[in-house]
Copies of this chain bind each other. A is one copy, B any other.
Amino acid sequence: MSGAPDEFDLIAQLFAPLSASYPGAFNLTDDAALMDVPPGRQVVLTMDAMVAGVHFFADDPADLIARKLVRVNLSDLAAKGAVPFAVMLAAAFPQGIEAEWLRAFADGLGQDVAEFSIALIGGDTVSTPGPLTLSLTAFGHVPTGRALLRSGARAGDLIWLSGSLGDSALGLRARQGQLTDLNPLHRDFLIHRYLLPQPRVALGPALIGVASAGMDISDGLVQDLGHLARQSGLAAEIRLADLPLSVAARTATENNNSWLACILGGGDDYEIAFTADPAQTQRIRQLADDSGVALSAIGQMTAGQGVAVMDRQGKAMEVAQRGWRHFSNAGEQP
């Protein structure tokens, strides 16, 4: 090895400390990592990719890009009931990327590695003539055989949702200069929810033994419940009046009712939707109190198929926007 430090050396310097808590990562000096799994536990794996100009704005702050990438993946693990412990990062950085940007990116990554008690255990860094392209593989563990799957719901189960719905989809619109009739503090709240989702990492593992099925609603409530319903061989019926909206989102819909479609189908919400036997209701309310995460019963699983949204009069609504599909709708976002 010879020559002046270059971007690779800088990245190695910046990333190596993020692996320190994980001996099997060898300080990122080997070309592979070793992973041990605690007895009685299974590994839960997920992998999400993000592209500048498609999933985030190229000029979003570098630390927040890194943190959103981590959080989007940890949200998937939480929805399975898994305790996260490690991530691997593949990053294609645009040619000529600046050291300052890389430092901020590594800082953001480090912040979330610390906040969620995980380690960066490996990955790959390459150069691209195209936009910044990131993919993260995230690892968690669950008691063997107990993970929350999409397929576990039973007819009669209640449908629950964590947190509030639609903030991120509205935050994106606010970021794009829409929703100007909102209070600036409400706009800031929505934009923050868009930029820095809060994965429900404490709630997820607590749902094991309580929930019958779970997933995060990253692609939009209606579309994602559709997946859960189909995998469980059932239909899902949700009630508009019971959907948990933040004050900001509620104000937006009061100002202009057309934002409702965006809330129902918008996606990029990293909240957990789960189903549970009605007999679990008391325990779930207790979980909400314990975790400080609001949990709202928003509907019920029934025989049949598809997702129905009932309006305040109990009539099935037409839901036009069925969710965010990154691929074919790529032109829509940023």
Contacts and interface: CB of A to CB of B under 8 A. Distances in A.
A129 interface: yes
Interface in A112-126: 121-126
A26 B1 CA distance: 45
B31 A88 contact: no
A93 B124 contact: no
Contact of A322 (B2, B43, B149, B223): B2
Interface residues of A, number: 78
A23 to B, nearest CB: 12
A43 B49 contact: no
Interface string A283-304: 0000000000000000000000
Interface stretch (A50-58, A159-167, A243-251): A50-58
Copies assembled: 2
Given A37-B37, A47-B90, A31 B150 contact: yes
A51 B131 CA distance: 11
A133 B144 contact: no
A127 B329 CA distance: 9
Q: Chain A at the B interface: mostly helix, strand, loop or mixed?
A: mixed
B29 A231 contact: yes
A326 interface: yes
Nearest to A325: B8
A43 B41 CA distance: 14
A127 B31 contact: no
Ranked nearest first, the 4 interchain pairs of A and B with the lowest CB-CB distance are A130-B130, A90-B135, A127-B330, A35-B43
Contacts of A125: 49, 326-327
Most buried by B among A53, A92, A131: A92
A11 B49 CA distance: 16
A137 interface: yes
A35 B42 contact: yes
B126 A54 contact: yes
Most buried by B among A3, A124, A147, A218: A124
A108 to B, nearest CB: 20
Given A122-B46, A327-B7, A30 B149 contact: yes
A49 B6 contact: no
A268 to B, nearest CB: 13
A150 to B, nearest CB: 5
